[in-house]
Amino acid sequence: MTVLDASDRSIIRATQAGLPLVAAPYAAVAAAVGLTEAEVIARMTAMQDRGVIRRIAVAPNHYALGMTANGMSVWDVADDRISELGARIGALPYVTHCYQRPRALPDWPYNLFAMLHGESREEVEGKRAEVASILGPACRGHDILYSTRILKKTGLRLRDE
Amino acid sequence: MTRPTRTVLPPEALDPTDRAILNALQDGFPLTLRPYDDAGAALGITGENLIARLARLRDLGAITRFGPFFDAAAMGGAFCLCAMAVPADRFDEVLTKVNAHPEVAHNYERTHALNMWFVLATDSPEGIERTAEAIEGETGLKVMLFPKLEEYFIGFRVQA
């Protein structure tokens, strides 16, 4: 666990809704939190190096971009192949949220989760077959779970202190 | 930030440069004095143009967010994917009890015996276990925990 000081936390609070769309965004953040631009850049660089900031990036809206169908595919992959095969599956252009997770035997034998996106259920099913062929005999079984309803969706927010 | 809309954009809403931005900016963004100029240069556009396009993509709903993605675990908190097998005749009652916990971020109904899948986001690792136990106590149903062991991230790619 990484210790964050008050200045780090103020930068997190100032940027968690998004990075300002201005020519010098770190100067804008600096002005908002009472630090210098150089200090904001240095602290954000350090946070990125420590993994507190995973990346600074856009999050595409799959649905708006036509990927209206998605399924949570789950796979039982041999433990000695999971790192190599997980990286290959995560690199596929239609895959997001690709994770190794623990099995929960006997009910749940699956240890690789990968969200598959497509323009239709049929397309997602086709991608499921592609993933199955990449995994080959290293995969002992799989399933795909489609979402039927969004029951709750809220963003993560660091609480104000 | 605008909320993601459940509307599909017409294909002509995005030009090739917009698509290149969507792909390139999933991988990272510079921590420099003029980062839009630097990221724009790699895409063959000015920083000013990149800012205008990002604002438009956001307003259109093509992107849900642009900025730093923080790791809950590295900040001392925790995330955990959880699942429950909820009997159909108790679904609404259980849903109300689960969603009442502010730690429950996303919650989806899915096609499986494990039919309720949600993410717990807590400000300490102990918070996951505590919240899961509270839900089990309130509902009498088992909460299965699927914490991530490893992430294989590359990102989603749009047709350029």
- Residue numbers of B between 49 and 78 with CB closer than 8 Å to A: 51, 54-55, 57-58, 60-76
Q: Of B14, B25, B109, which is closest to A148 when you measure between CB atoms? A: B109
pLDDT in tens, chain B (160 residues): 444 456 899 989 999 999 999 999 998 999 999 999 999 999 999 999 999 999 999 999 999 899 999 887 777 889 999 999 999 999 999 999 999 999 998 899 999 999 999 999 998 889 999 999 999 999 999 999 999 999 997 666 776 5
Where in chain A are the domains? 6-50, 69-146
Where in chain B are the domains? 11-60, 78-146
pLDDT one-digit tens code per residue, A47-68: 999 989 999 999 998 888 988 8
Chain A touched by B127 (CB under 8 Å): no
Q: What is the CATH architecture assignment of A69-146?
A: 2-Layer Sandwich (3.30)
Chain B touched by A54 (CB under 8 Å): yes
Instruction: Identify whether the C-beta of residue B36 lies closer than 8 Å to the C-beta of residue A19.
Output: no
Chain B touched by A30 (CB under 8 Å): no
Long-range contacts of A115-119 (CB under 8 A, 24+ apart): A115/A70, A115/A71, A115/A72, A115/A73, A116/A70, A116/A71, A116/A72, A116/A73, A116/A144, A117/A62, A117/A67, A117/A69, A117/A70, A117/B156, A118/A67, A118/A69, A118/A70, A118/A94, A119/A66, A119/A67, A119/A68, A119/A69
- pLDDT at res. B2: 43
- pLDDT at res. A62: 85
- ipTM for the assembly: 0.80
Q: Are strands A139-152 and B104-110 parallel, antiparallel or unpaired?
A: antiparallel
Mean of all residue pLDDT scores within chain A? 92
Report the percent of chain A where pLDDT is more than 70: 94
Report the percent of chain A where pLDDT is more than 90: 77
Average pLDDT for A111-122: 95
A vs B, Cβ pairs < 8 A, gives: 241
Partners of B91 in beta bridges: none
- Residue numbers of B between 5 and 34 with CB closer than 8 Å to A: 5-9, 11, 14, 21-22, 25-29, 31-34
* Cβ-Cβ contacts under 8 Å, B157 against chain A: 93-94
* Cβ-Cβ contacts under 8 Å, A124 against chain B: none
pLDDT one-digit tens code per residue, A13-45: 999 889 999 999 999 999 999 999 999 999 999
Burial of residue A1, with CB atoms counted within 10 A of its CB: 0-12 exposed, 13-18 middle, 19 or more buried = exposed
Q: Of B68, B111, B149, which is closest to A100 when you measure between CB atoms? A: B149
Q: Which CATH class is domain B78-146?
A: alpha beta
- pLDDT at res. A24: 98
Pure H helices in A16-70? 25-33, 37-50
Using CA coordinates, name the residue in chain A closest to B80. Answer: A101
- pLDDT at res. A155: 52
Contact B28 A52 (CB under 8 A): no
Using DSSP, state whether A76 is helix, strand or coil.
Answer: strand
Sign of CA dihedral A115, A118, A123, A127: negative
Q: Alpha carbon of B151 to those of A68, B13, B50: distances in Å?
A: 24, 32, 30
Instruction: Identify whether the C-beta of residue A153 lies closer than 8 Å to the C-beta of residue A114.
Output: no
